[in-house]
Structure 1
Amino acid sequence: MLLECTEVRKSFGDAVVLDGLDLTVDEHEVIALIGASGSGKSTLLRCVNLLAEIDDGTITLDGEDITDPRVNADVVRQKIGLVFQSYNLFPHMTVLDNITLAPTKVHQRPAAEAKAQAMEWLDRVGLADKAGSYPDRLSGGQQQRVAIVRALVNSPRLLLLDEVTSALDPELVGEVLTMIRDLKGDGMTMVLATHEMGFARQVADRVAFLDKGRVLEQGPPGQVLGDPVEARTRQFLARIIEAGRL
């Protein structure tokens, strides 16, 4: 087991966002988190990446309790890549500089090594010719692919994807989803929060439906999305179907 979240609780003031949440992720597994806005999907990803401190419970990565206050968060984050729905690229830096910033400045890797690896990834995703471009010269889909490459250059054990297609025009969604599908083929372990139910059905090994800060139902995509057990899951999916998103 690569990741284990046990009885994880997180509140913001009086608002309980994660309420005793349990989730496990095996190595090379892809988990899709689905649920209504406010169900805790993004907060869970931020807690796993230690950008938000949990109030109770434990999160372990490779058997290590990464929520132990003695743990060096920067060291943990070298093993976990996180991609946000907004690309968060530095507008004054080229694509290549955006990608190599953390490896060279934070992880102290030689610049030539970081550049070579960045170019390998850019070539693989069809963006090698954009290495010297600035983010505002790229489409939304291209910017999101660059953001994913930036998370991959440190060879993370786990990749977290937070609604990475939600800010994209519909015609640009496919290129990002293709990249994620290719990463699955490589065996990358991923946890992705998504509203793209069709994609979750195609790429996920397991779908977890979050409701009120808990995993209410989880299982193979065909079962959770096609024949859910819980009434709340059925209600949620009915609204998704009404909106034409399943």
Structure 2
Amino acid sequence: MSDDPVLRFEAVRKSYGGQLVLRDVSLSVPAHSVTALIGASGSGKSTLLRCANLLEEVDDGAVFLDGEEITDPSVDQDAVRRRIGVVFQSYNLFPHLTVLQNVTLAPRRVHRRERAEAEAHALELLARLGLADKAREYPDRLSGGQQQRAAIVRALATGPRLLLLDEVTAALDPELVGEVLGVVRDLKEQGMTMVLSTHEMGFAREVADQVCFLDSGVVLEQGPPEQVFGDPQQERTRQFLRRIVASGRLTPGN
């Protein structure tokens, strides 16, 4: 159905070495929406994203993409990953390839697009994200913010149904954070469906359609940002946000 969520977690559980990292997580991500995952380090945010892209196998429960259970063992995992773009905090650009070559690698090798078509689309995306003059540069000639924007372009180049962003500003110097967040803000305006884990609370409050607070592998609270940040229902959420406000990473109020 057209109103089905793009991504849905149903009672997902995941353990590492006997330690339960995700505890019966259920969550739906509507089309053209932004879901922000917040919580302390180790709360399960990155693991949840990795389960969505099948980089981690769930122990129990199920993950659905456009209504199809992608955690079913019979599913072609490579076909699923072709529909999902992922951007990590560490960029993961190939240092021996130019930015253009990095961006066109998957469209050419995986999606079998002609070189001219792939490069034309890549150059259009690079221009849109302010990297038109960096297409022939190698990653080590770019700033951290430029490398992260290039990584986002690479994820977009395959035309993903869903974009997962895992702490994409964590490795950046503070002055470079804004330019990457600006790109995410623009993608939201263009209707891209995104799930992002972030420590940038002010940005999550501004850009997200729903915010999910994870604590010890449990989605303890979820709702629109004005509710989660402005009127949290759980004491643990209030405690977490008080610490964030005290650290200066979030201003009080709605």
TM range, smaller chain:
over 0.9
Give distance in 2, aligned partners of 1:172 and 1:226.
Answer: 28
Structure 1 counterpart of 2:187? 183
Letter in 2 for 1:213: G
Structure 1 counterpart of 2:90? 86
Matched, 1:200 2:207: no
Letter in 2 for 1:40: G
Equivalenced residues, count: 246
Letter in 1 for 2:43: S
State the secondary structure of the residue aligned to 2:25: strand
Give distance in 1, aligned partners of 2:43 and 2:241.
Answer: 14
% identical equivalent positions: 70
- Deviation at residue 226 of structure 1 after TM alignment: 1.6
Letter in 1 for 2:160: P
- Deviation at residue 125 of structure 1 after TM alignment: 0.9
Give distance in 1, aligned partners of 2:207 and 2:174.
Answer: 18
Structure 2 counterpart of 1:164? 168
Give distance in 1, aligned partners of 2:15 and 2:53.
Answer: 17
Q: State the Cα deviation string for residues 25-49 of structure 1 (Å, max 9, x = none).
A: 0000100000011110000000000
CA-based RMSD: 0.7
TM-score (norm 2): 0.96
TM-score (norm 1): 0.99
Give distance in 1, aligned partners of 2:145 and 2:204.
Answer: 19
Give distance in 1, aligned partners of 2:126 and 2:182.
Answer: 15
State the secondary structure of the residue aligned to 2:249: coil
Matched, 1:212 2:216: yes
Contact 1:31 1:191 in 2 (8 A): yes
Structure 2 counterpart of 1:67? 71
Structure 2 counterpart of 1:241? 245
Contact 1:141 1:173 in 2 (8 A): yes
Contact 1:78 1:156 in 2 (8 A): yes
Letter in 1 for 2:220: L
Partner residue of 1:127 out of 90, 107, 131: 131
Give distance in 2, aligned partners of 1:233 and 1:201.
Answer: 14
- Deviation at residue 88 of structure 1 after TM alignment: 0.5
Contact 1:22 1:214 in 2 (8 A): no
Give distance in 2, aligned partners of 1:243 and 1:108.
Answer: 48
Structure 1 counterpart of 2:103? 99
Give distance in 2, aligned partners of 1:19 and 1:201.
Answer: 25
Matched, 1:4 2:16: no
In structure 1, stretches of 5+ residues that fail to align are none
Give distance in 2, aligned partners of 1:128 and 1:63.
Answer: 37
Matched, 1:43 2:47: yes
Partner residue of 2:59 out of 55, 62, 67: 55
Partner residue of 2:143 out of 136, 139, 148: 139
Partner residue of 1:28 out of 12, 15, 32: 32
Q: State the Cα deviation string for residues 107-136 of structure 1 (Å, max 9, x = none).
A: 211111111110000011110110000001
Contact 1:6 1:20 in 2 (8 A): yes
- Deviation at residue 214 of structure 1 after TM alignment: 1.3
- Find runs of 4+ consecutive structure 1 residues off by over 2 angstroms: none
Contact 1:140 1:172 in 2 (8 A): yes
